[in-house]
Amino acid sequence: MSTNPLLDTTGLPLFDQIKPEHVTPALDVLLADADAALTRVTGPDVPADYDALSLLLDVATERLGRAWGAVGHLNSVADTPELRAAYNENLPRITEFYTRLGADERLYAKYKALAEAQHNLPAHELLSAPRQRALDNALRGFVLGGAELQGAAKERFAAIQEEQAAKSQAFSEHVMDATDAYAYYASADELAGVPQDVIDATRAAAQAEGKEGHKLTLHMPSYLPVMQYATHRGLRETLYRAYTTRASELGAAERDNSPLMRDIVALRQEEAQLLGSANFAEVSLVPKMAHDPQQVMDFLRDLAKRARPFAEADMAELRAFAKSDCGLDDLQAWDVSFVSEKLKEARYAFRDQEVKQYFTEPTVLKGLFNLIETLFDVQIQSDIAPVWHESVRFFRIERAGKLVGQFYLDPYARPGKRPGAWMDDVRGRWKRPDTHATQTPVAHLVCNYAKGVGDKPALLTHDDVTTLFHEFGHGLHHMLTQVDDIGVAGISGVEWDAVELPSQFMENFCWEWDVVQKLTCHVDTGASLPRELFDKMTAAKNFQSGLMTLRQIEFSLFDMRLHAEPGSESRIQAVLDEVRQEVAVNIPPAFNRFQHSFSHIFAGGYAAGYYSYKWAEVLSADAYAAFEEAATAATGVLNPEVGRRYREAILEAGGSRSAMENFKAFRGREPQIDALLRHQGMS
């Protein structure tokens, strides 16, 4: 058993050695150890003492969490039938353990006794502020975890958790499988207008399979350029239909997410009722900044009202241009990206494709690292670790020669890898109670842009660059923390509707000339982006921002209504249709099944929380405004002093204080919406 790589949790995961057959034996050991720790810690010999509880329970559960995290990560980025089977076989065991842990009355009693004892202690013996916050979070977690339920209600609550976990995993698999299963082999004629690098990549993909023509898929590096540039309207419609009906009843029956969506929403509603809440949205909001569903919906509707005039103008302009310049009297959903791109070219005289030639991956990474080093007083350099794919790289972050954190970068799209981009933790910062050493944090940063063809580097669209900066913001939140208590270090314990603040904050730098210059190096000439082209990009920055804002509000309001209205599981499409009638100015065709691949809310932790993106944008725009206000001719927005204050107040503090306290520590006041409206050209 000593040779099982999943049991080696002292250092970095042995990703190059982990095989599907290791999963079950490793979890046999780790679950038994965690169970034994739970039995011991809830017994009479262990006092209601923070350190005593942490030494036994946190050490065992952190080890289990790290091993299972490695399995889950591989399942997302290197999916195989064997690994998927091992993951799904063990998912119920993991869910059962954590559900039981979170609902254990004996453990809850120990934590309550620990909290109670705080009232009678002298000041010097009280828990530190971060530990008090972690304790408060834990007590709240017990209530939400069903610790106060009894008998049949408690059993049903546990069963619901297992069912939800299995169904969410199946939802995610259906989206991945539906995406991977689709291929359309296009002729060269059909690809008229499509950028040359995409034509080369799709031809290479077809040749690799011994096929003629060009292999088009539903992965973003293939799908999006076709939608933006292909003059062949029939091809755009074909791909649009395939993309927007993924994992629905309009495709393969075995990948239809319709029953899963109904079941997931119904299970959440039942969970809420067991906890004494009127709906799941109320339960979801307990640990968030927003107070109740009505406050969230009022916020979204207010923002929709502000954005609507801009969105209507965007849509009117698009329709008029489609008619006058593209010969399209009836603008359809599969025309929108194409006509938008043409309109942008006509109005601002540049193409995204032209910009892409300047954003070569090595230069983008060098510029990003330079920015982080300048603002946050750290150094980033290559490091060595076992990886799961040859294209994965590993880096370390240091300050004054001392290790602060490390991260894996997995940048490229490939089959067997979940679509989208995300940051995940490998391990958190923690002053370990077993060794008394400080464990440094490690993160995964995952993107899905296209790999370079031949000896050419990968070329990133400006959107790809923005996404990379976004995920790095999450990574910095996790890695730069200085909190030593694992429950509130980095992103742990941060309210979900504030967790997007550091990620969205980083996106702003992608629109600063001083920064962008250092991110660019033309793939053929080596020249940096011309100022004239950057000015056109900036002029186009808020192109269709009204439409994009309403689209985000549409998703957010659909999510909130779905989880706030009992019985909504039987009318999911109807709820979405009603939301679109209320807020959208561009309603998709009836066959569109966007919700069937809305993994954020059905498989990704954002249930009754998708509004967080807009909520946190208010925080991030206002935080960034501090850099704009302090900009000088010498530093531009890269002011190290403001960077230090931001780092200390928000990134280093992590979840050890409320997000509002962190924000006020940085800005000296509560957040205001003005900066967001100004940044999006809607002030």
Tell me the per-residue pLDDT of 653-667, one tens digit each, with 9 for 90 and over: 999 999 999 999 999
Structure-token match 């780092």, residue found: 647
Longest pairwise C-alpha distance within the chain: 81
For the chain, the domains span 5-102+104-144, 182-245, 255-350+545-610, 361-539+613-679
In the prediction, which pLDDT does 1 show? 46
Tell me the per-residue pLDDT of 278-316, one tens digit each, with 9 for 90 and over: 999 999 999 999 999 999 999 999 999 999 999 999 999
Buried residues in 531-554 as b, exposed as e (16+ CB within 10 A): eebbebbeebebbbbbbbbbbbbb
Structure-token match 């029953």, residue found: 259
Helix, strand or coil, per DSSP, at residue 411: strand
Tell me the per-residue pLDDT of 399-440, one tens digit each, with 9 for 90 and over: 999 999 999 999 999 999 999 999 999 999 999 999 999 999
pLDDT over 80 at 365, yes or no: yes
Query: Where residue 62 falls among pLDDT bands split at 50, 70, 90?
Result: very high
In the prediction, which pLDDT does 621 show? 97
Nearest to 368 by CA among 407, 342, 338, 403: 407
Report the 10 Å Cβ neighbour count for 199: 16
How far separated are the first and last CA of the chain, in Å rounded? Answer: 63
In the prediction, which pLDDT does 453 show? 86
In the prediction, which pLDDT does 682 show? 86
Between strands 438-439 and 184-186, the pairing is: unpaired
Structure-token match 């709240």, residue found: 140
Q: Which residues contact 61 (CB under 8 A, 6 or more apart)?
A: 34, 37, 101
| Euclidean distance between CA atoms 104 and 45, whole angstroms | 17
Phi and psi at residue 656, to the nearest 5° = -75, -15
pLDDT over 90 at 442, yes or no: yes
Report CA torsion sign: 450, 453, 458, 459: negative
Query: Is 560:293 a contact under the CB 8 Å cutoff?
Result: yes
In the prediction, which pLDDT does 124 show? 92
Which run of H or of E encompasses 528? none
Fold of the 255-350+545-610 domain? Neurolysin; domain 3 (1.10.1370)
Tell me the per-residue pLDDT of 270-286, one tens digit each, with 9 for 90 and over: 999 999 999 999 999 99
Q: Following DSSP, what letter does each residue of 454-496 receive, concatenated?
A: TTSPPB--HHHHHHHHHHHHHHHHHHS-----GGGSTTTT--T
Q: Following DSSP, what letter does each residue of 276-313 receive, concatenated?
A: T-SSHHHHHHTTSSS-SHHHHHHHHHHHHHHHHHHHHH
Q: Please count the CA atoms within 13 angstroms of the CA of 246 that sit on its side-chain side.
A: 26
Tell me the per-residue pLDDT of 127-165, one tens digit each, with 9 for 90 and over: 999 999 999 999 999 999 999 999 999 999 999 999 999
Residues labelled catalytic: 471
Partners of 454 in beta bridges: none
Q: Does domain 5-102+104-144 have CATH number 1.20.1050.40?
A: yes
- Burial class of residue 148 (count of CB atoms within 10 Å of its CB; 0-12, 13-18, 19+): middle
Mean per-residue pLDDT, 658-682:
94
Q: Please count the CA atoms within 13 angstroms of the CA of 46 that sit on its side-chain side.
A: 22
In the prediction, which pLDDT does 288 show? 97
User: What is the residue-averaged pLDDT of the chain?
Assistant: 97
Query: Is 613:552 a contact under the CB 8 Å cutoff?
Result: yes
Partners of 381 in beta bridges: 396
340's tokens: 């938008």
Helix, strand or coil, per DSSP, at residue 426: strand
Query: Where residue 180 falls among pLDDT bands split at 50, 70, 90?
Result: very high
Same fold, 5-102+104-144 and 255-350+545-610: no
Between strands 402-412 and 442-449, the pairing is: parallel
Query: Is 529:516 a contact under the CB 8 Å cutoff?
Result: yes
Helix, strand or coil, per DSSP, at residue 512: coil
DSSP conformation class of 254: G
Percent of the chain past pLDDT 90, that is, above it, reads: 97
Structure-token match 């050991």, residue found: 29
pLDDT over 50 at 237, yes or no: yes
pLDDT over 80 at 2, yes or no: no
CA-angle at 647, arms to 138 and 504, nearest 5°: 80
Query: Is 142:111 a contact under the CB 8 Å cutoff?
Result: yes
Q: How far lies 594's CA from each of 5, 560, 572, in Å? A: 39, 16, 11
Which run of H or of E encompasses 425? strand 422-427
Q: Indicate the class that CATH gives domain 361-539+613-679.
A: mainly alpha
| Euclidean distance between CA atoms 463 and 453, whole angstroms | 20
